[in-house]
């Protein structure tokens, strides 16, 4: 009888140890993926980029592991949860808890309005309601252009349009030019980049409006080669741009953590606060619409409500005196 009890106790202890071991391994693994995400290889299926696209969501594992540790009354498991908690806070705590300065010089609205948008006038009114000094749009079709001009033109009388991207501004625009970011093999009609100089009261700022190629997630992984090539082309243009103050606004079809955008994002600063997930509009899980700066400070970014697009608009606050 005693031997049976001893065997039962030993079995229970082994079970507890297995649970605790599993919890510790999972917690350390999540922390490792957060901190060492760049070490995940991208050769097969762009797995690294897939991870980096949804990187903030690894934090969801922390409460799940914590609840499991509580259910099993595992002190070791609870302590192990500190590792991914601290890693997540180190990487994303500022975005979650940070507050932006009260002052800013420009309000920039960014939106992929969708070429199949059935209510362009309503979408334009939503963008105008954000009271932006600049409004940048992508997937602007010839049929919908008039609706946006009618709604936005009164408050934002200066505009630049090239292909399917456009910029409306409260301040005069100059040196407007096309920016060729076409990957190899794409047709001449694929026109998704422009540059303009905005004469803001605090001084001139160069503004790029861009829409990088779409990516696809399938059974073989992430298809992002064209997006990556386009990002490199845009990054090269920015590197050669002599402007002291510069903004890149647009649908980059990737997050700032995605290494595929490194040729571009390595030169630019991201907002200090706000996750502003913008895609897909029905259940936003990633911010692929951006307001990024060089020689300026993008202090905050936030998402607006749904429009007739599959993206949410985002609003960036910009200080030009950084």
Give the domain extent around 38.
2-97
Question: Could you tell me if 82 and 6 lie in one domain?
Answer: yes
Q: What is the CATH number of the domain that holds 121?
A: 3.60.10.10
Region 224-253 average pLDDT: 97
Domain's final residue, options 97, 115, 150: 97
Burial degree of 1 (CB within 10 A; 0-12, 13-18, 19+): exposed
pLDDT in tens, 271-317: 877 899 999 999 999 999 999 999 999 999 999 999 999 999 999 99
Question: Could you tell me if 15 and 117 lie in one domain?
Answer: no
pLDDT value of residue 297: 94
Question: Could you tell me if 197 and 178 lie in one domain?
Answer: yes
Tell me the whole-structure pTM to 2 decimals: 0.90
What lies within 8 Å, CB to CB, of 228 at 6+ separation is 260, 261
Q: Tokens 């047709």 map to which residue?
A: 187
Question: Could you tell me if 112 and 66 lie in one domain?
Answer: no
Question: Could you tell me if 148 and 258 lie in one domain?
Answer: yes
Domain's final residue, options 77, 97, 117: 97
Question: Could you tell me if 202 and 116 lie in one domain?
Answer: yes
Q: Tokens 């192990």 map to which residue?
A: 80
Domain's final residue, options 33, 67, 97: 97
Q: Which two tokens mark 92?
A: 């994303």
Total domain count, the chain: 2
Percentages helix, strand, coil for the chain (3-state, rounded to 5) are 40, 25, 35
Region 12-27 average pLDDT: 72
Question: Could you tell me if 38 and 129 lie in one domain?
Answer: no
Which range among 115-129, 141-155, 261-275 shows the weakest confidence by mean pLDDT?
A: 261-275
Question: Could you tell me if 314 and 176 lie in one domain?
Answer: yes
pLDDT in tens, 68-91: 889 888 888 899 999 999 999 999
Characterize 125-143 residue by residue with b for buried, 16 or more Cβ atoms within 10 angstroms of its Cβ, and e for exposed: ebbbebebbbbbbbbbeee
Question: Could you tell me if 8 and 47 lie in one domain?
Answer: yes
């Amino acid at each position: 009888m005693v031997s049976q009890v001893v065997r039962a106790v030993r079995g229970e202890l082994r079970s507890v140890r297995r649970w605790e071991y599993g919890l510790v391994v999972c917690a350390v693994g999540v922390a490792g993926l957060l901190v060492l995400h760049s070490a995940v290889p991208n050769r097969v299926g762009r797995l690294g980029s897939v991870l980096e696209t949804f990187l903030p969501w690894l934090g969801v594992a922390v409460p799940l592991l914590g609840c499991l540790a509580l259910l099993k009354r595992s002190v070791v498991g609870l302590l192990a949860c500190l590792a991914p908690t601290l890693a997540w806070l180190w990487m994303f705590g500022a975005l979650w808890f940070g507050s932006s300065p009260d002052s800013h010089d420009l309000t920039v609205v960014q939106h992929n309005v969708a070429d199949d948008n059935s209510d362009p006038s309503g979408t334009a009114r939503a963008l105008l309601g954000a009271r932006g000094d600049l409004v940048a749009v992508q997937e602007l079709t010839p049929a919908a252009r008039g609706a946006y001009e009618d709604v936005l033109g009164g408050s934002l009388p200066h505009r630049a349009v090239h292909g399917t991207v456009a910029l409306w501004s409260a301040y005069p625009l100059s040196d407007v030019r096309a920016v060729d970011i076409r990957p190899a093999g794409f047709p001449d009609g694929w026109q998704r980049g422009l540059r303009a100089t905005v004469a803001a009261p605090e001084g001139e700022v160069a503004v790029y409006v861009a829409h990088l190629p779409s990516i696809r997630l399938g059974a073989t992984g992430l298809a992002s080669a064209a997006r990556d090539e386009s990002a490199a082309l845009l990054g090269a243009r920015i590197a050669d741009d002599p402007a002291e103050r510069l903004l890149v606004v647009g649908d980059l079809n990737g997050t700032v953590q995605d290494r595929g955008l490194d040729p571009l994002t390595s030169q630019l600063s991201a907002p200090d606060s706000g996750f502003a997930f913008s895609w897909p509009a029905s259940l936003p899980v990633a911010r692929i619409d951006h307001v990024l700066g060089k020689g300026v400070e993008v202090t905050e970014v936030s998402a607006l409500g749904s429009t007739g697009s599959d993206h949410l608009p985002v609003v960036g606050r910009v200080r030009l005196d950084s």
